[in-house]
Structure 1
Amino acid sequence: MPFVQPRSDAAERVLASAQFISAHSGDVSVPEDGVRQAAQEIMGQMTRTGYSTAEWKKHALLPSVADSAALEWIFVADALNFSFWPTRARREEQYTVTLDGVAYRGYWSLCAAINRALREGIDMTDAQCLADMTLERLAHVFRTDDPRTQEPIPMLDDRLQVVREAGQVLLVKYGGRFANVVAECAGSAQRLVELVVRDFASFRDEHQFAGQTVCLYKRAQILVADVWACFEGRGLGCFDDIDHITMFADYRVPQALCHFGALQYSPRLRAHLEQSEAAVRRGDAPDMLPSGHPWEVEIRGNSIWAVQRIRQHILDAGTSVNAILLDFYLWDYAKEHAADMSAIPIHHTRSIFY
């Protein structure tokens, strides 16, 4: 039976794509027993810790005040929220941004760099500034602490294209403000995803798999989720269909899902990922999966489907939760328990989509 994507809502297309990918995967699976056990364990931990959208603002680098300025910050951060995994095994040689005496790596280095630029008078939340960005200025914004010993931020040229596109589209279509994009969605999370993937090509996370076009939309959906979390579901962050948003398929959440038993790799895929991780630990280049490779799409699509199945088990048990909170929790868990999960390999892909 041919796969037919729903045409109406972007988030529904993601879920349909995830189900299709899961049904046609040869090397990644979502074991139901593992999903059931993961649901019990994750919900228990989230309940004990009182995990909620309030966790979002507890991070020192994120906007603490839910206002229009926060919207613009969130937009530029999520436009640039991709590809932070290091190629060097030693932490002191990895891309690092220190702010207020704290050294940040990974996604948090992006947030620190944006905040550092704002303090230096480079308004990364201004559409004209983004549209006029030069490679030299962006290199300054994303400079590492010690360029002599530390690797630079990956994909700087791609980040320049993304920044310029973001600024230009905002200026031409939305009066220079992402707040106007949010206003146009009229309280619909799915409509906001649709506008973003329609007008900003860098958010259009689509691939060919098993002869069909599948949609994953990681950055577009996390953009909506960050707005919702920042405003705690009120005001500009009030979306009546927020529960339709799926999880955000990257490379850390799949690792956490494997840890909880909700995601499983075939022996040949696992061997490939372990060899790639071993190369990084030796200081060699990893055997990267190109963006859109069947294995990469299987990992990401099955991650979305696994979280959907986990959520369904939790709902069936009488507890309300959406995929956004599950994703936030799993991502935080993966970061906090990195040492415990070091034996579970991640996949290595350089992509503007995550």
Structure 2
Amino acid sequence: MAEGNSYDCDMVESLAAKFIAEKAQDVHINEENIKKLASTIMEFFLDTFENKLPTISTHFLQKFDTYSFINDRNVADWLFVVHTLNFSLWNPNNTKQWRVNGAQGFFGLCAAMKKISEKGMRTWDPRCYSKMMQCEFEHIFRGDDETPIPLIHERCRILHEVGEVLLNKYKGTFVECIKASDNDADNLVKLIVNEFESYRDEAVYEGLTVRFHSKAKALVSDIWAYYKDNDLLFKLNTKNMMPIMFIHYPQLFFYSFVLSYSDRLMTRLEDINKPLEYGSREELEIHGCSLFALTKLCKEVLKKSKDVASVVNTEEFNALILVDNYFTLNLSFTLSTKL
């Protein structure tokens, strides 16, 4: 386990979300609409999955083919690089967006990694990316129309940093981080946050430091999804882990009326030339309230699953995976029609 100040990431994150939700000035959670959405999700489950619980999210299925050609052992390293680079992949509105093979955002990043890997570059190997020059990084991650990937300097710097940690402390592979965590998912989240600065999502809200670790949790979740039927690494115990909030959830909560914004915040969001700053009060309220709403939604879905216990094994019921499948297959379409 990493040295330094370790802490219970789940407790810190849950308390931060609750604290922000209670103090929020511009974001409001509608409890009744959470209950309505939970009922809709359970109806979706009964109609779509024929009482067979989905075991992984459609997010994972969508990106699976982008690394299915890689050796099993290297997938953990590949996922580590992808999640490390997964931030601020969008350019300002009314400017060219970065696309690879027509894909944007996270899936554009996956497509870029696959494209580079198929040309023989070991994109998952810190011996490769920790020494990469910025001009080389810019060249290999260029978009379909030569549009550069956003924040090139920052991404290159972060890759150098995480690569050096792996080379100096973990034998040059993220697999050793998993071993150091005793193959335990919660321990692995703590190790990632402690060892890799770019995974520490911290800010000050109402005079207190709040911490979110969705980035580390998303990485661990994807590793679990890939290896869940393979004893090569570990089996993730998802039962006690706090829900992972994906980047599109706040928008989906807004359009499903779980969240509502003040007139002031709505006016602020309509200014396409001034996006909310990371760590600003408004950004933290959207993030914290969304996470708190997701926690409540998952609890409500789990509660409603007990009403249909005759057709579902509640011991194996994972509310978050069901919620994510519902969002991806249903509300994502609604979102795409509104943007």
Q: TM-score range by the shorter chain?
A: 0.7 to 0.9
Unaligned runs of 5+ in 1: 1-6, 280-285, 343-354
Aligned pair count reads 318
Instruction: Name the counterpart of 1:238.
Output: 235
Q: Secondary structure at the match of 1:215?
A: strand
| Bigger Cα displacement from structure 2, 296-305 vs 33-42 | 33-42
Q: CA deviation at 1:108?
A: 0.9
**Alpha carbons of structure 1 residues 128 and 188: separation in structure 2 relative to 1, 3 Å:** same
The match for 1:323 among 320, 323, 328 is 320
Instruction: Name the counterpart of 2:280.
Output: 293
Deviations 1:156-208 (A, max 9, x none): 11111111111111111111110111112123221111000100000010111
Unaligned runs of 5+ in 2: 1-5, 307-313
Instruction: Name the counterpart of 1:310.
Output: 297
What is the rounded CA distance, in whole Å, between the counterparts of 2:244 and 2:192 in structure 1? 17
Conserved? CA contact 1:205–1:216, under 8 Å: yes
Q: Secondary structure at the match of 2:337?
A: coil
What is the rounded CA distance, in whole Å, between the counterparts of 1:202 and 1:218 in structure 2? 12
- Summarize the alignment of residues 11-160 of structure 1 with structure 2, pairs less than 5 Å apart: 11-50=10-49, 51-53=54-56, 55=58, 56-59=60-63, 61-64=65-68, 67-89=72-94, 93-98=96-101, 103-147=102-146, 151-160=147-156
Deviations 1:89-148 (A, max 9, x none): 48xx421112xxxx211211100111111122221100111210110111012101112x
Q: Secondary structure at the match of 2:203?
A: strand
Q: Secondary structure at the match of 1:225?
A: helix
- Summarize the alignment of residues 120-269 of structure 1 with structure 2, pairs less than 5 Å apart: 120-147=119-146, 151-232=147-228, 235=231, 236-241=233-238, 243-248=240-245, 250=247, 252-269=248-265
What is the rounded CA distance, in whole Å, between the counterparts of 2:94 and 2:165 in structure 1? 38
TM-score of the superposition, structure 2-length normalised?
0.86
Q: Secondary structure at the match of 2:178?
A: helix
What is the rounded CA distance, in whole Å, between the counterparts of 1:155 and 1:46 in structure 2? 40
Instruction: Name the counterpart of 2:311.
Output: none
Conserved? CA contact 1:61–1:111, under 8 Å: no
Instruction: Name the counterpart of 2:3.
Output: none
| Bigger Cα displacement from structure 2, 42-51 vs 27-36 | 42-51
Matched to 2:300, the amino acid is H
| 4+ residue segments displaced more than 4 Å | 331-335
What is the rounded CA distance, in whole Å, between the counterparts of 2:57 and 2:298 in structure 1? 20
Conserved? CA contact 1:188–1:242, under 8 Å: no
Conserved? CA contact 2:302–2:319, under 8 Å: no
What is the rounded CA distance, in whole Å, between the counterparts of 1:334 and 1:133 in structure 2? 40
TM-score of the superposition, structure 1-length normalised?
0.83
Q: Secondary structure at the match of 2:43?
A: helix
Conserved? CA contact 1:84–1:154, under 8 Å: yes
Conserved? CA contact 1:9–1:191, under 8 Å: no
Q: Secondary structure at the match of 1:338?
A: helix
Say whether 1:337 aligns with 2:305.
no
